[in-house]
Each structure stands twice: as C-alpha cells, then as structure tokens.
Amino acid sequence: MKIVFAGTPEFAACAMRAIDDAGYEIVLALTQPDRRAGRGMHLQASPVKEFALEKNIPVLQPETLKRNSTDPEKQAQAQEAYERLSAIDFDAMVVVAYGLILPQDVLDISQQPGRNGSFNIHASLLPRWRGAAPIQRAIESGDTKTGICIMQMDVGLDTGDTVLVSELEIAPEETSSSLHHRLAELGAQSIVETLNCLQVGKALVRTQQATNGVTYAEKILKSEAEIDWNLSAQEIDRRIRAFNPFPGATSNAQELEIKFWNSRIPKAGAVSATGHPGELLGLSENGAYIQCGQGAIEILEMQKPGGKKMPASICLQAFTFREQVLRFHKKE
C-alpha cells in the first residue's frame, strides 16, 4: 500500500519509521515548516522531514492546509498541497502530531473510492484527553492508565471513530518523557497493525466515541511551570513529572531559579520534620524533602541555571546556607 504521512515531532517520526520498516511505501510527507531552535536559533527540520529526506520521500511544508486563508502566501501553499494530494496515487493517509488541522476537502481526497481514508494516532484513551497535550495532562491528573487510539479522522478535534485501542499503565513515578517514549512505540506498533489489516482486506471495526467522559488536554504553557508549594505533595509531584521535559517545573531560592525534573511521594515514616510550604526539611540518599501544603515531597533531580541536571542532594550542596532554613518560593 501507498501511504501519505503527516506529522512533525519525534513521536510522529517513530511511527513513520515503523511504517517504512513494515514495507509500506510512503509517497509523500507533510510536516510543519522548519523552525528556529537551539542557542544559535538556526532553522531546524522536523524529525519527520529528516527521516523523509533520508529515505528520499517528497516533502511538503505548508503553513496551513486551509485554502480559504486570507494570507495570499499561505493560501498558495495550501492550494499547492491540495493539488499534490489530488494528483498522487495513495491508499491511506496517516496523521500523527502534525500540528495543522486537516480541513474537510483534504480528508475528502483520502476518502475517494478505492482509498481507506485518514487515520490518526492519538496518545490517550479517547474520549479522555482530546487535544494538544494528552500525555502531560494524564500524568498531571493522576491517571493510572492511558494508551493509544487509532482513529478514523473526521473534521472534529479528535472526535472520529476508533478502530484500534491499546491500553498502557502509567507507572507511579512516570514522567512525560518516559511515557512519551513508551506511547510512541505503542503507537508505531498500533498503526502498523491497522495498515496490516487494510493490506489483507480485513474489515476494521469502527467504534463511535462515548459522549460522556470527554476531557480536553489544553496546550502546556510556560506560565504553568512555577511550583505553588501550598498545593498538596501529590499535586506538586504530578506536575513536576508531567512538565518533564517541557516546560520544566521551577521555583526560586537565594535569587536563583531552580528547575525540578523528577520527584516522588516519600515512603511512610521517611520524613518526621515539618515546616512551612517550600521549606527544605532534609536530605535523602540522592534527594531532598520539601514541605508542601499537605505532606512532603522528595525531589530527586534538580538543575541550577546554566548547570546540568543532577541528584537533588548534590545540587543543594552548592547553596550557601545564609539562613537557618532554605526555603523555595515563587518568583518575586
């Protein structure tokens, strides 16, 4: 089968590699335009584009697929993409974390007679966590399981029928980084399984999403990163792990903004001292105990400005204890 692939980040590239490894021909890749990144702010290609170039797959990078855009340049890019999609021969479109909305006229191309439509890999158990940040919001909310849904796309926001659902448990100390990698692998396996069914003519069972239990995973904002130590230890722990790797939870101490990358809830009886929210209560073998609004949290990994990530107990050795107690707080 011939596949059109639309995606941008590494999560998408993982699925793209699996589709290629399974022997399917990717005839066109759609990905977002190169973005400036890194300290030098140089233009960088997306992981999907890098893989496409490696495999000599044609690439299109429109800023939008909406042909009714009021911006003449964007409208021209959308028209070019529409014409290319209309002209090429393909059997199905796979969409993974593309970052652009597919309008109905693009979906219609993939649904022409003899084609199988467009399939999306979504990293949640729909209808829970539709939207931009399902991995982070699942951890932040304390979900114990998540998964991958292969969805037959429609024009709604992650509202299409599911054709394959694979569940995955969320470990107690899971970060968004670790869960991202596990879900990327599961998503790659799931989309190949879906394409294999289409290849042999096996009918896909379409299941309409439930109307109850719908939640939306809003985009993660940098403004969410600062820790509110008045929250419970459980809430803070979830946010630290949810915001690893982006944007990284932060708090201030001795005029330094510190990043917190990993944490856990201490075992019962591990912390006997108490203090004000944000107050350092003591050190563990590799970490540090900090008082929260309810209970204490064990911080495992921290980072000073310009420094490297390191065990919290080592990071804290660099502080000069001018006061009797070290206390973390919001930026003033």
pLDDT digits (tens, 9 = 90+) for 252-274: 998 889 999 999 999 888 888 88
Cβ-contact 137, 218 below 8 angstroms: yes
| pLDDT at res. 93 | 98
| pLDDT at res. 255 | 85
| pLDDT at res. 36 | 82
Q: Which residues contact 83 (CB under 8 A, 6 or more apart)?
A: none
Q: Which residues are annotated as a binding site for (6S)-5,6,7,8-tetrahydrofolate?
A: 124-127
pLDDT digits (tens, 9 = 90+) for 36-80: 877 777 889 999 999 999 999 999 999 999 999 999 999 999 999
For 257-282, letters b (16+ CB in 10 Å) and e give ebbbbbbbbbeeeebeeeeebbbbbe
| pLDDT at res. 324 | 59
| pLDDT at res. 40 | 74
| pLDDT at res. 286 | 83
| pLDDT at res. 272 | 84
Q: Is the pTM of this model over 0.85?
A: yes
| pLDDT at res. 19 | 98
Domains in the chain (CATH in brackets) are 2-217 (3.40.50.170), 223-318 (3.10.25.10)
| pLDDT at res. 292 | 97
Which residue positions in the chain have pLDDT lower than 70? Answer: 318, 320-324
| pLDDT at res. 124 | 98
Q: Give the other-Cβ count within 10 Å of 325's Cβ.
A: 11
| pLDDT at res. 268 | 86
Q: Which residues are annotated as a binding site?
A: 124-127
